[in-house]
Chains A and B, each alone.
Chain A
Amino acid sequence: MAERKRNWDKEDDLPVYLARPGTTDQVPRQKYGGMFCNVEGAYESKTIDFDALSVGQRSSRAAKAADKKEGSKEGTSPDSERCSPGTEGRSGERQPRDSGIEIKTTGGKEILQNLDDLNSDRLLIKGGRIVNDDQSFYADIYMEDGLIKQLGDNLIVPGGVKTIEANGKMVIPGGIDIHTHFQMPYRGTTTVDDFSQGSKAALAGGTTMIVDHVIPDPGSSLIEAFEQWKQWADEKACCDYSLHVDITHWNDSVKQEVETLLKEKGVNSFQVYMAYKDLYQMSNSELYEVFSFLGEMGGVVQVHAENGEIIAEEQARMLQMGITGPEGHVLSRPEELEAEAVFRAITIASQTSCPLYVTKVMSKSAADIISQARKKGNVVFGEPISASLGTDGTHYWSKNWAKAASFVTSPPLSPDPTTPDYLNTLLASGDLTVTGSAHCTFSVAQKAIGKDDFTQIPEGINGVEERMALIWDKAVVTGKMDENTFVAVTSTNAAKILNLYPRKGRIAVGSDSDLVIWDADAVRTITAKTHNSAAEYNVFEGMEFRGGPLVVICQGKIVLEDGNLHVTSGTGRFIPCSPFPDFAYKRIKARKQLAVLRPVPRGMYDGPVSEFSPMSRGGTPSASARTSPTKQTPPVRNLHHSGFSLAGAPTTEETPIRPAGRRIVVPPGGRSNITSLS
C-alpha cells in the first residue's frame, strides 16, 4: 500500500518539462466576475509561479504556494488566508495524510454569515489534478450554485468558502450511469432498489447522474409511463437523472407520443427490444419504421439485441430437457443470438441512417460485431455493463441456486471467462463507447419466483455502485486505459450521446458541479454486507477493486466524504436531453446529404410485354402457359404443354385461363419519359 503510494507520488513529481500540458503554462478557461474581481483578466499570468518551474518539486506544493500568494495579494479577504491550508500543507508536504485530502470549512465569522453553511454551495477544490476526457491538468475549482464558476490556478474566491484540499489527487467529472432500472415494476413487485436506494448506491460509487429506463407496458401510453417514472424519481432520487423510454409496441399513436417526448419532454433516447417474444419484441419491419422515424427526429435508438424467436424455441427445448435451473438461462441464450441480433440491428440502422446504441454488450462476439461495424463506418455505440466487464457467466452453474439466480440478466453473462478482459480492451480502444450498469436488483425471494423454471426468474443484476471502481481496476490499473479514457467511458461519452455535454461529463466553467475526487489506490472488497444496494447478493461478492471515490460532489454539495454518505432523497433533478446530439448525428447529417438516390434517366421501354396475371404476384402458377414471345413455338405447342399441367400442382385459387400468352401488350405510346419523374 505504502509502496504504491510512493509510486503515485513519483508520478506527480515529474519535472515540469515532462509534465502534462496544462500543468503550468496553460491558462485554463476562467470565468471572471466574482465578488472581488471587477477587472477581467486583471491577474492573468501576472503571478510568476517559481515553484512550478523548478524541477522536481511537488506540484501540490506549487499550487499551495500559489494559493498563499494569491491569498496575500487579495488582501480584501483575510478569511481566505485562514482557509487556505497553510498549516496542514506544511506538514502534509512530505507525508500526505492517509486519505490525502482535507476538507475545511470556514470558522468564526463565516459560520455566522452563512448560517446554513452545511448546505452552502460554495466550494473550492484546491490542488487537484483535473482529468477530463481530453487532457489532465492541475487547477483549482470554484463552485457556486451547483455550477463550476471558476477554474484555474489563482482563483479569486469570496470568503466563507468550504475548501477541499485535494493534494494532487485526481478530480474527475462525476460518473454518468447511462443504464439503470430503479424501482422497476415487475409482475406486481418492484426492484428492491428504488430511486432513493439506487441513487444512493450510485453516489457511493462516484456516479452523480443516472439514466433510468421507463418501461411502459405494451399497449399503454408512453407519456403516462414517462410521467409516472418522473414522479417516482422526483420524489426520491438523490442525484440528477434523465430517462430513456422503451418502446414496447409500435403504432401511430406511439409515434405521436415519441415525437412529443422528443420535442417537449426532454427524452432523446428510446429503447427497442429484439427479444422477449410476444411481449416487447418487434419485427424487422417495425424496427425499420422505428429506426427511420427516430433517425428523422434526431433520437438515439437503443436496442436490446437478442434474437427473441430463437430464444423462445431454445427455452422450450431446455425446459423439455429438464433443465430448469439458472444454467438454462444462459444455455437458452447463447451469445451467438446476441451477436446475430446486433448484426441485424446494425444492418437496419445503416439502411435507415439512424445512429444505433447497443445496450448491454455482454459477449465477445457481440462486441466484435460492433467494432467491425465501426470500422466499416457505421454510427454505432456499444455499452458494456459493470457485470460484463467485471465477472463472467460461470456462476450460472453454481450449486447455490440463489447465487446462480442473482446473475440472471439478459443478455446473459458469457460463460467464457476471458470475456471481461476482452470487453475492457475494446472499451479502452474506443470500440465500445460508454458503460452502464443495468442495475436492476431483485431480492432472492423475488428471484425465487423462477425457482422451478428459469424463464420466470426476474432478470437483473447490481452494478451501479461498483461500476467506476471496477473499470478503474480492470482497465486503468492493468494499463489498458489511461485516466482520460476512463473519464470518457464512464462519463463524457454518455453525456455526449445524451446531448448534455458539456453541462455534464466535463470539468469546465459553466458545467454542473458534479465532481469526484478519485483515489487511485483505495482498495475495497465488494460484499453485500457493506454495499448500499438493498439486494442480498452482490454479483461481485468478494472481489477486490483498486480505486474508488474519496469525495463525491453532486450538485455542488459534498455527498460522500470519509466513507460517509450525506444524501437527501428528492434532490435529484430531471435533466432534459435534446434531440440530434452532435456526437451521433453530425456524421449522419453529412451522409444524408450525400446519399441521395437518383433514378437512371433512360428511354421508355417500348418492346413487347408478355401478359401476366397482376393479382397474384407469385400466386398460382398457371402451370404451363408459356407466354414468352421469343423463340417460342406457336400455340399448338402450348396445348401440348397444358397437357402437362394436369399432373401438376393443384392450382386451388385458379388464375383465369388465359389464351396462352400470345397477346403482347404494346405499351401505350406517348408516355412521358421516365426521367420526368425524377
Chain B
Amino acid sequence: MEDGVIKQLGENLIVPGGVKIIEASGRMVIPGGIDVNTCLQKPYLGTQTVDDFFQGTKAALAGGTTMIIDHVSPQPGASLLQAFEKWHEAADKKSCCDYSFHVDIPHWHEGVKKELEILVQEKGVNSFQVYMAYKDLYQMTDTQLYEAFTFLKELGAVVLVHAENGDLIAQEQSKILGMGITGPEGHVLSRPEELESEAVFRAVTLGNRINCPIYITKVMSKSAADIVAQSRKKGSVVYGEPITASLATDGTHYWSKNWAKAAAFVMSPPLSPDPTTPDHLNTLLACGDLQTVGSSHCGYSTSQKAIGKDNFTLIPEGTNGVEERMSFVWDKAVAVGKMDENQFVAVTSTNAAKIFNLYPRKGRIAVGSDADIVIWDPDKMKTITAKTQQSAVEYNIFEGMECRGGPLVVISQGKIAFEGANLSMQQGAGHFIPRKPFPDYVYQRIKMRNKAMAMHGVSRGMYDGPVYDIPITQKYITPSPSAKTSPTKNQPPPIRNLHQSNFSLSGPQADDNVPRRSGHRIVAPPGGRSNITSLG
C-alpha cells in the first residue's frame, strides 16, 4: 500500500525498501467496514448527540469500520444545501476516517428539487432519506413520496426510507399517554412493529409503481424484514438494512425498572420486544434477503434522554452501535455458522459500497482500491461495556454482552489506526468521498425495466354511440333527492309511478326482460374528431 491506495496484491511482491510490514500470519484480511447509517451530528431540541464526528469515527475505527455514511438532517424549512455544507465542514474538521453523506429530505416542494439536483450533480450525494413517520415534522404524504421517488429516480439516486406509519403513531402516542403510560415502554407500545411493516409495504409498493429502487433503513422487526424478503422474491428492487441494535439485542429492555437504561434503548423504529427477532434478522442477512448493516449510531447522554422523563415522546431517539457493529455480525452470524466470511464482508462492507456507488474503491481488497483494511481476529473475545468503549454515551445497550471476533489491526487510508488496543488517529484526517448517481448495482435492472415497462394505449375506433349529457359544471353534485334522471325506461315519470306499482301485483310484464334503451337525452358526439389512436 502506498499513498492510501493498494498498489500490489499477490505473493512475493516486489516492494521498495523502508516499508512497514505487518505479519498477518494467516489471519483474515478484510476490507474495512462501511457503516451506512450514522447520525453523528443529529440535532434534537437544541441539543446534539454526544458523539460527534471525532468521537464517533474513533469508535468506528476501533470496531473495524473505516468509512461511515452519515445522515445530514436539515430541519423542515431549512435549506438542504446549507445543511449539507454545515455537516461537511464539521466532518472535515473532526472525522478520523473517510465519510460520505446521505441527505434527509424533511419537506418537499419545488425548491427542494433544485437543491437535490445540485447535491447529486455537484456535491457527490447520491442517497436521500425520506420519512414516513414523524407526523407534522418530517413526514411526507403518499403523494409527496410519489413525487419525490419519481424525481430521485430520474436523478439516479438511492431512496432511503424511514418506514413507520406516522399518522397511526401519533394516534397511538396520544392514546398511550392518555392511559398514563409515560415511560420508555410507551415508546415501543405506541410504535408496534405492524406499523413498521405497513410502511415498508407501502414504500415497496410505491417503489414498484415508479420503478424506483428503495432502501429501507433500520429494519427492526421480523415482519418488516419478511416484507422486504417477500418483495425481493417478487422482483422488487428493494434493500434492507438491519442495524447493530436489531441484530444483537431486543426490545424487552424497554420494560426495565431502570429508567435510564430503558431510555437508552429508545429509537425509531423501536427494537422489537420479540426476543427471537435478532436471530431471524441475522438469518435473513446471511441468506441475502437483507443486504447491509448500519449502526444508526446516534448517541445521546442520559441527561439528554431525560428530556423525556415524563413523556416518552420527548426522549431523543438513538442508540449506539458503530463500534460493536462488525463484531456482533461476526458473533451472531458467522460464529454460529449462519454466514460465511465472504458474506460477512459483503454485508459489512461490499454491498454498501455497491449500493452507494463506492465499489470497487471501497469494499474490496484489490489493486487500486483504497487502503482501508482490517486484520480480523475471529477468536478475540470481548465483553462490551460502557467503561471501555470509545463512544461518549454512558449507557451501552449491549452492556455485558460477550462477543467473539474483532479487529486486530485497522488500517485506514493506508495508516494504522488501531493496533492491539491502541488507537492512533488524527482528527480531521477523514476525506469526504463523493458518490456518483446511478450505481450499477441498483440501477441496471431499473433501466432495463424502464424499457420493458412502456405502456401503450389500445388503438380503437372512436366511440360514436350515444353519450349521456351531464351537467359539466357540477361534478359530484348533491343529488336532488327525487330527481330521477336515469334515461332508461324503467323510471317513468312520477305520476306513472303510482300506476305501475299497482300494476305489478299481477306479476311480470311481458316486456320486463327487454332492456329498453329509449335513449332520452343523448348527445351525439361531435363528428370529425381525430381518432383516439392519434393520441397514443
Chain B residue numbers with a CB within 8 Å of A677 are 180, 182
B507 within 8 A of A: yes
Tell me the bound Cα distance from A564 to B134 in angstroms. 63
* B303 near A609: Cβ-Cβ < 8 Å: yes
In the assembled complex, the CB of B149 is this many whole angstroms from the nearest CB of chain A, namely 10
Given that A309-B142, A569-B501, A649-B82 are known contacts, is A194 also in contact with B301, CB under 8 Å in the complex? no
Chain B residue nearest in CB terms to A566: B507
Say whether A347 contacts B46, CB under 8 Å.
no
> A322 touching B505 by the CB < 8 A rule?
no
A629 to B465, CA, bound (A): 79
Q: How far is the CA of A323 from the CA of B532 in the complex (A)?
A: 9
Task: Given the known inter-chain contacts A192-B490, A599-B182, A661-B47, please indicate yes or no for A448 contacting B467, CB distance below 8 A.
Answer: yes
Interface residues of A in 503-554 (CB under 8 A from B): 528, 530-536
CA distance A314 to B453 in the complex (A): 14
- A502 interface residue per 8 A CB criterion: no
CB of B488 within 8 Å of the partner chain = yes
Q: Is the interface of B mostly helix, strand, loop or mixed?
A: loop
Q: Kindly list chain A residues whose C-beta atoms are within 8 Å of the C-beta of B488.
A: 192, 443, 534
Q: Is A43 an interface residue (CB 8 A)?
A: no
Interface residue stretch chosen among B187-195, B364-372, B444-452: B187-195
Contact (A445, B300) CB under 8 Å given A567-B508, A608-B306: no
In the complex, A621 Cα to B86 Cα: how many Å?
A: 12
Q: Which of A297-324 contact B (CB under 8 A)?
A: 307, 309-310, 312-314, 318, 321-324
Which residue of chain B has its CB nearest to the CB of A327?
B458
Query: Are A187 and B474 in contact, CB atoms less than 8 angstroms apart?
Result: yes
Q: A570-B501, A602-B257 are in contact. Are A445 and B468 (CB under 8 A)?
A: yes
Q: How far is the CA of A618 from the CA of B475 in the complex (A)?
A: 41
Contacts A235-B501, A339-B205, A618-B45 given; does A630 touch B302 at CB 8 Å: yes
Knowing A339-B205, A445-B522, A630-B392 are in contact, say whether A200-B182 is a contact too (CB < 8 A).
Answer: no
Instruction: Known A309-B146, A402-B463, A444-B466; judge A652-B536 contact (CB<8 A).
Output: no
Does residue A47 face the partner (Cβ distance < 8 Å to B)? no
Question: How many angstroms from the CA of A528 to the CA of B536 in the assembled complex?
Answer: 32
Point out the residues of chain B lying under 8 angstroms from A337, CB to CB. Answer: 205, 209
Q: A605-B259, A628-B47, A650-B82 are in contact. Are A351 and B192 (CB under 8 A)?
A: yes
CB contact under 8 A between A404 and B77, given known A190-B484, A285-B167, A630-B394: no
Taken residue by residue from 648 to 668, chain A's Cβ proximity to chain B (1 for < 8 Å, 0 otherwise) reads as 111111010010010010010
Among B189, B467, B474, B489: residue with most chain A CB under 10 A: B467
Q: Which positions 484-503 of chain B face chain A at CB distance < 8 Å?
A: 484-491, 497, 500-501
Residues of B within 8 A of A670 (CB): none
Residue of B nearest to A616 (CB): B45
**Known interface pairs A309-B143, A616-B46, A650-B82. Does A194 touch B491 (Cβ–Cβ under 8 Å)?**
yes
> Is the beta-carbon distance between A347 and B471 smaller than 8 angstroms?
no
Chain A residues with Cβ under 8 A from B25's Cβ? none
Per-residue interface assignment for chain B, residues 339 to 377, with 1 indicating a CB less than 8 Å from any chain A CB and 0 otherwise: 000000000000000000000000000000000000000
Q: Is the beta-carbon distance between A351 and B519 smaller than 8 angstroms?
A: no
Whole-angstrom CA separation of A339 from B201 in the bound complex: 9
| Inter-subunit contact B307/A324 (CB<8 Å) | no
Min CB gap B448→A, angstroms: 19
Residues of A contacting B134 in the complex (Cβ-Cβ under 8 angstroms) = 618
Q: Mark B433-465, 1 if CB is under 8 A from A, else 0.
A: 000000000000000000000011110110101
Q: Report Cα–Cα, A35/B257, bound state, in Å.
A: 75
Residue pair B165, A532 in contact (C-beta under 8 Å): no
Complex contacts, A451 vs chain B, CB 8 Å: 463, 467, 525
Whether A289 touches B477, Cβ cut-off 8 Å, given contacts A343-B198, A664-B303, is no
A674 located at the interface, meaning its Cβ lies under 8 Å from any Cβ of chain B in the complex: yes
Cβ of B79 within 8 Å of any chain A Cβ, yes or no, is yes
Roughly how many angstroms separate A560 CA and B275 CA in the complex, as a whole number? 62
With a CB–CB cut-off of 8 A, which chain B residues contact A628?
47-48, 50, 300-301, 303-304, 392
Cross-chain contact B86 with A443 (CB below 8 angstroms): no
State the CA gap A657–B507 with chains docked (Å). 86
Question: Looking across the interface, which residue of chain B has its beta carbon closest to that of A339?
Answer: B205
Task: Tell me if B287 counts as interface (CB < 8 A to partner A).
Answer: no
Is A603 interfacial (CB-CB < 8 Å)? yes
> When chains A and B are docked, how far (Å) is the Cα of A613 from the Cα of B202?
34
CB <8 Å contact, B47 and A612: yes
Closest to B500 in A: A569
Do the beta carbons of B487 and A188 come within 8 Å of each other? Answer: no
Residue of A at shortest CB range from B172? A351
Query: For residue A614, which residues in chain B have a CB less than 8 angstroms away from its CB?
Result: 45
Inter-subunit contact A610/B501 (CB<8 Å): no
A508 → B minimal CB distance (Å): 30
The reply on A463 being an interface residue by CB < 8 A is: no
CA distance A452 to B168 in the complex (A): 39
The proximity string for A residues 614-646 relative to B, scoring 1 for CB distances below 8 Å and 0 otherwise, is: 101111111111111111100000000000110
**Which of A189, A402, A570, A622 has the most chain B CB atoms closer than 10 A to its own CB?**
A189
Docked complex Cα distance between A351 and B175 (Å): 11
Asked whether B155 is an interface residue with its Cβ less than 8 Å from the other chain, the reply is no
The answer for the CA separation of A283 and B143 in the assembled complex, in Å, is: 12
Whether B83 contacts A187 by the Cβ 8 Å rule is no
Of residues 168 through 199 on chain B, the ones whose CB sits less than 8 Å from some CB of chain A are 168, 170-172, 176, 179-183, 185-186, 189, 192, 194-195, 197-198
Assess whether B260 is in contact with A607, with CB atoms less than 8 Å apart. Answer: yes
For B255, the closest partner residue in chain A by CB is A600
Q: How far is the CA of A402 from the CA of B460 in the complex (A)?
A: 11
Which chain B residue shows the least CB distance to A454? B457
**Whole-angstrom CA separation of A289 from B507 in the bound complex:** 49
Interface status of A84 (Cβ within 8 A of chain B):
no
Q: Name the A residues within 8 Å of B47 (CB-CB).
A: 610-612, 625-628, 661
Chain B 88-124 residues near chain A, CB threshold 8 A = 89-90
Which of the candidate stretches A107-115, A172-180, A328-336 sits at the interface with the other chain?
A328-336
Q: In the complex, what's the smallest C-beta–C-beta distance from A217 to chain B, in angstroms?
A: 5
Q: Which of B57-65, B399-407, B419-427, B510-518 contacts the other chain?
A: B510-518
Selected from B181, B455, B487, the residue in CB contact (under 8 A) with A445 is: B487
User: How far apart are the CA atoms of A644 and B52 in the complex, in Å?
Assistant: 13
State the CA gap A445–B515 with chains docked (Å).
Answer: 14
B2 within 8 A of A: no
Is the Cβ of A192 less than 8 Å from the Cβ of B486? yes
Q: Is A449 an interface residue (CB 8 A)?
A: yes
B29 at the A interface (CB under 8 A): no
**Which residues of A sit under 8 angstroms from B468, Cβ to Cβ?**
189, 443, 445-446, 448-449
- The verdict on B138 contacting chain A, using a C-beta distance below 8 Å, is yes
> Is the CB of A325 closer than 8 A to any CB of chain B?
yes
* A interface residues, Cβ below 8 angstroms from B: 185, 187-194, 196-197, 200, 217-218, 220, 228, 235, 277, 279, 283-285, 288-289, 292, 307, 309-310, 312-314, 318, 321-325, 327-328, 331, 334, 336-337, 339-340, 343-344, 347-348, 350-351, 397-402, 404, 443-446, 448-449, 451-452, 528, 530-536, 564-570, 597-605, 607-614, 616-632, 644-645, 647-653, 655, 658, 661, 664, 667, 674, 677-678
Can you show 27 pairs from A to B with CB atoms below 8 A apart?
A: A187-B471, A188-B470, A190-B479, A192-B488, A235-B497, A285-B170, A310-B142, A318-B455, A323-B457, A343-B198, A348-B168, A351-B171, A399-B458, A445-B467, A445-B519, A449-B470, A566-B508, A567-B508, A597-B176, A599-B180, A602-B259, A607-B303, A610-B304, A612-B304, A613-B46, A627-B47, A645-B86
List residues of B whose CB falls within 8 A of some A CB.
43-48, 50, 52, 74-79, 82-83, 85-86, 89-90, 134-135, 137-138, 141-143, 146-147, 165, 167-168, 170-172, 176, 179-183, 185-186, 189, 192, 194-195, 197-198, 201-202, 205-206, 208-209, 255-260, 262-263, 300-304, 306-307, 309, 314, 392-394, 455-458, 460-461, 463, 465-468, 470-471, 474-479, 481, 483-491, 497, 500-501, 504-505, 507-508, 512-513, 515-517, 519, 522, 525, 532, 535-536
Given contacts A612-B46, A630-B302, 6 further A-B contacts (CB under 8 A): A323-B536, A336-B205, A351-B192, A530-B513, A610-B47, A647-B86
CB-based closest 3 A-B pairs: A621-B43, A648-B86, A284-B167
